[in-house]
Chain A
Amino acid sequence: MHILIIEDDKDAASYMVKGLTESGHLVEHAADGKSGLGQALTGDYDIMVIDRMLPERDGLSIIAALRAADITTPVLILSALGEVDDRVEGLKAGGDDYLTKPYAFSELLARVEALGRRSKPEANNDKLELADLTMDLLRHKVTRGGKVITLQPREFRLLEYLLRHAGKVVSRTMLLEQVWDYNFDPQTNVIDVHISRLRNKVDKGFEKNLLHTIRGAGYSLRETH
């Protein structure tokens, strides 16, 4: 993916550029709001990561300018302000996701990739598939290798989210946000337990495991490890 990072903290930006480049993305960096907006308006990006507090021009006004210019590129807002109010404000201004500092790089990567995925239209909305796993969204039915898998409603939503982001890494926080709609970090391994239950239903008894744990980052639904 072609990613634009607008971030004034040089060290943070260089790690971000390094990490995203090593993850196989093409990354460009702008160090202040003015040049960042210039690049964002002229370049063709799949996703932008914009810090809220920037010299010359703040992050939210950049997003507003982009949206006013009909540029709908997904934006991930980075911010040191973590209150719910700020999050709402950021999303209202036209941001697509919000990440509070300090954050783990794996979290950033997972969110960036999830956003990049979102920007592409989904081919088939009624059916999600991965290898021999099929989810019929209309009939609320999941099968693997022709065998029906019975899921609780929340397990269904969890698997749906993982399927929509198949091949990508999703973090525990993202799952908690997207599947359970909570914006806080639990102190216990609550998500792990839910995943292991889901794994029992989806992978147990099948030759190939689909639901993988990515150490230090989260989970991924994919065919190969």
Chain B
Amino acid sequence: MKLINTTVFRLSLSFAAIFVLIFTIAIALIYYITFAEIETQTDLELLHEMDELEIHHHTQDSAQLMIRVNDRERYGEHLGHFYALLDGDRNYVSGNKELALLINSELENNGNIHYIEKEAEGGTEDTILRIAHKKLASDMYLVVAQESNSLYELREHTLSAIFYSVLITLFLALIIGTHMGRLVLRRINKINEGMDQSVNTNFKQLIDVPETDDEFQALTLKLNSMLERIERLLSGMRQVTDNIAHDLRSPLSRMRSRLEVTLLQSRSEEEYKNVMVQAVNDCDELLNTFNSLLSIAQAEAGVRGKDWQTINLGDLLNHLSELYEVIAEEKGQKFICSSSAVEVVGNKELIAQAVSNLIENAIKYTPAGGQIALELDNIDAHPIIRVIDNGPGIGEKDRERVLERFQRLDSARSSPGNGLGLSLVKAVMTLHDAKLILSDNRPGLKVELIF
């Protein structure tokens, strides 16, 4: 990925631009206010001087004024103050001659204050003068000037300060943006590489989790859990395929060889009939397995849909126990059902099937004389269905495994079944956000469905 395409890089550039803009506006504002303040001060001083000299002119005659202007000029020069007096025809009368020449053409009858640039003489810098003048009652022009170089320097310094600051800011932003972009890019690339590796190893290898506790770690953990899920699904699918190959192939090949052998020579009608009845039974077994697989797939793909309703679990358990009680009795088992009015929202059909699978398992694996209990409880607003038997139970290490499709314990292989019953229960529970817990009843198995 290109650096310029990273979000961090673009962000730091835009932040820099915004910063420069704000900075420039602030400096310009400060400059403007300062400049205006200083200018006002200067002008006030100039006008004040002018007023003083004019008062003298009123009280005394023009000759006195000339002398005063000359005096002021002499004492004020090193302070940057300049004075000049011109007559009505704009000829130099007294004070600073240069100033008089400089202003000559710009004299106005009503007077004003403005800047004039005095060109440098031999190596010195140009001088900027702030000049005020006024036409006196005696038709003479009085000119007062103040050197304002420092004000102009302030302006120039300010401008260059802005310029360099902008330059430095942009430069820094570029460097920081590049650095941060690289940093982020490196970490993203690491995650990308990890994902590629994971894909290449069929999701077996996970992405290395960064040690820093930040968003990248969180992202990596999320991605890893996703990869793990994909891996689980993939291996689940593989396992199901293997199992289908095994569990569906054996009845199919059994049926095929049975039919094939029957066809080897002609047989009596009775024999043909027998073989066909067996073939039909084999087919039923296959269809059963298929239907169970379909039910599981439907439960797994299911959503909370229109077939969800409020279910009275007490009624449901009572009906099921009525259905199965007699079978337990036939097997010489004691069947106890204790239920109360507890309700849950869900798919009635699927929950009934799940519970019936558990009851059937209990009846199937509990020996004669055993006891099977169907209980309904409600703890902290969580309805709990328990199917408890005192049969052989399931060893702790096998309790996870028996929930997988087609998994049958070795001890159960002799009895009929397809190893899908508990898988369906698990799928139904997952669909209902409910928990399926297998535990030891000492002796026997206790299965809890916690909604």
- Seen from chain A, the residues whose Cβ lies within 8 Å of a Cβ on chain B are 82-85, 88, 102, 104, 154, 180-190, 193-194, 197, 215-216
Contacts of A186 in B (CB 8 A): 356, 360
Contacts of A193 in B (CB 8 A): 326-327, 330
A85 touches B307 (CB 8 A): yes
A216 touches B295 (CB 8 A): no
A154 to B319, CA, bound (A): 10
- Seen from chain B, the residues whose Cβ lies within 8 Å of a Cβ on chain A are 277, 280-281, 283-284, 287-288, 290-292, 294-295, 298, 305-307, 319, 322-324, 326-327, 330, 347, 349, 352-353, 356-357, 360, 363-364, 416-418, 421
Contacts of A190 in B (CB 8 A): 323-324, 327, 360
A188 touches B349 (CB 8 A): no
Known: A182-B352, A185-B288, A186-B360. A216 touches B280 (CB 8 A): yes
- The 5 A-B pairs of least Cβ separation, nearest first, read A184-B353, A84-B307, A193-B327, A188-B360, A193-B326
A187 to B327, CA, bound (A): 13
Contacts of B290 in A (CB 8 A): 102
Contacts of B284 in A (CB 8 A): 104
Cβ-closest chain A residue relative to B424: A184
Q: Closest CB-CB distance, A92 to chain B, in whole Å?
A: 11
**Max chain A C-beta neighbours (<10 A), residue from B292, B326, B416:** B326
* A interface, over-half SS: loop
Known: A180-B319, A186-B356, A190-B323. A82 touches B298 (CB 8 A): yes
Q: Closest CB-CB distance, B329 to chain A, in whole Å?
A: 9
A189 to B324, CA, bound (A): 10
Cβ-closest chain B residue relative to A194: B326
Of A85, A184, A215, which is within 8 A of B277 by CB? A215
Q: Closest CB-CB distance, B240 to chain A, in whole Å?
A: 19
A180 to B353, CA, bound (A): 13
A193 to B327, CA, bound (A): 6
B323 touches A180 (CB 8 A): yes
A194 to B322, CA, bound (A): 10
A184 touches B295 (CB 8 A): yes
Some 19 contacts from A to B, beta carbons below 8 A apart, are A82-B291, A83-B307, A88-B307, A180-B319, A182-B323, A182-B349, A182-B352, A183-B349, A184-B353, A184-B356, A185-B291, A187-B292, A187-B416, A188-B363, A189-B327, A190-B327, A190-B360, A193-B330, A216-B277
A188 touches B295 (CB 8 A): no
Cβ-closest chain B residue relative to A106: B280
A83 to B280, CA, bound (A): 25
Q: Closest CB-CB distance, A152 to chain B, in whole Å?
A: 8
